[in-house]
Amino acid sequence: MKKSDTAVNTNESGFFTILYDLFRSLKLTISLLILLSILSIIGTLIAQKASPSEYIQRYGPGLYEVLNFFNLFDMYHSWWFSAILVFLVINLITCSIQRFPGVWRQISHQPGTGSLEDSMLKTLPYVEKVRAPGQAGAKTEEDIRSNLKKWFRNARRMETESAVTLYSEKGRFSRLGVYITHLSLLIILIGGIIGSLYGFRGYVNILEGETVDQIYERGEDREIPRPLSFSVRCDDFNVTYYDLPGRKEKNVKEYTSIITILDKGKEVLKESVRVNHPLHYKGLAFYQSSYGAIHDVTLGIQWRGKKEKTVFQVMEGNTIQIPNTNTLIRLLKFEHQVHNFGEGVQVVLFKPNQEPRPFWLLRSFPKFDEQRGDEFILNVEGVTEKEYTGLQVTKDPGVWVVWIGCGLMILGIIVSFFFSHQRVWVRIPKGSGGEIVLAGSANKNRVGFEKNFGELADGVRSFGKK
């Protein structure tokens, strides 16, 4: 092999070694978790997936461009947020791979056929020596074995020419608790990535008695319709208020929607949807998020110099064409009280080659629009108010993956904090005289183990006094 080839291989090996050391670093784990915490706080402070006009009004055009460039308005679906999660996944995997083989050897290791050697006593943290009774025989061994069963599993017997060693342990697999927790974090992160890539969040407003078959997602500059494979009908909507004596204002206690799902024209599900009590169907969750009223306004139009009047209807927020004209009219909003003049609607006209300007029409003053000086006069003929329910619609295919991860995390925490790997050796000399040697170790909960070990030693001492 040429020297240049050797140098290239050495450089590649060195690069991968550096990369592997980086990903198995605990400092990287802490840094990524801190970064995710900071980003989560930012994602809470900055409303996600709102309209650009809301962001511009709140932050101004300059700051809006900066925040939008870094995709902070939809950060949980951004490539860099997913990349941080992937880095954390790789970090947890490499940390586990590095430490798992040694732990597995401790779990799967079985003591040899020999007795407890003196060399082992130097490495074990708990050692007690008790003078053996005059003749340590089968009776002494059976007494010690029965005493061991109080705290540990059935002891394994190992015999040599000079002694018999009883070995017992419990909680061997408690060493896996930390790796169960690592696995749970991986599953939760994978579930989050699945939800980020394949899930969505939308909304829909449904009038009482109305049926819809699509919802809307908020895009950067528009609302994106998303069709459903079924229909959703709002049968009823109710608002309950608190009964507070002595107070005129009404405080909402609860608002509830009666929702019916229609699939292929048939009613398949009917439920009451309340806050924090969603309806689930075909992987979608419908949450009660808002409510309100929308107004269907009847407008009259009269041409100057003519007695005939034409009426037409337009719903709040909609744009229609005025009959017999090339002019569009949009009803911006309805108000019950406009500067103490009573009910009124704000509209805007869209005419060719003219800048649209909003203006008000007052129901109690039919000729109020004459001052505008247009070729026709508009007035409010009637108003019909309809309540609507606002539903948030979410799809998160990774939610069950996250729940499985949470269950594993609880299991891992219980195993890690409430169980420990405890081992005990008792060496009983053959014949008369000598010492009974007790030795033990525990990887956690050493205080509890020390108490049990002490009681075991006291029990052995009591056998020698019989």
pLDDT tens, position by position, 166-220: 888 888 888 888 889 989 988 988 888 888 788 888 889 998 889 999 998 876 6
Q: Is the pLDDT of residue 42 over 80?
A: yes
Pairwise pLDDT comparison (281 vs 161), residue with the higher score: 281
What pLDDT is recorded for position 258? 93
C-alpha Rg value of the chain to the nearest Å: 38
What pLDDT is recorded for position 444? 85
Helices 79-108 and 177-198, interaxial angle, to 10°? 160
Q: How confident is the prediction for the chain on average, in pLDDT?
A: 85
Q: Is the pLDDT of residue 135 over 80?
A: no
- Give the tokens for residue 405: 């991860």
- Give the tokens for residue 141: 């061994």
What pLDDT is recorded for position 220? 62
Would you place residue 64 in the very low, low, confident or very high pLDDT band (cuts 50, 70, 90)? confident
- Within 8 A by CB and 6+ apart from 293, the residues are 385, 386, 387, 388
At 270-304, the pLDDT tens digits run 999 988 899 999 989 999 988 888 889 999 998 88
For a pLDDT cut of 70, what percent of the chain falls above it? 92
Would you place residue 231 in the very low, low, confident or very high pLDDT band (cuts 50, 70, 90)? very high
At 411-462, the pLDDT tens digits run 999 998 888 888 899 988 887 767 889 999 998 888 888 888 888 888 888 7
Indicate the range of 88-97, 154-163, 247-256 predicted with least confidence: 247-256
Coil, helix or strand at residue 396: coil
Q: Is 25 exposed, middle or buried (0-12, 13-18, 19+ CB in 10 A)?
A: middle
What pLDDT is recorded for position 334? 92
At 336-387, the pLDDT tens digits run 889 889 999 999 999 888 888 889 999 999 889 888 888 889 999 999 888 8
Closest CA to 289 of 279, 299, 303, 301: 279
Q: What is the DSSP letter of 119?
A: H
Would you place residue 152 in the very low, low, confident or very high pLDDT band (cuts 50, 70, 90)? confident
CA distance 304 to 377: 7
Whether the model clears a pTM of 0.75, i.e. scores above it, the answer is no
Closest CA to 314 of 294, 335, 298: 298
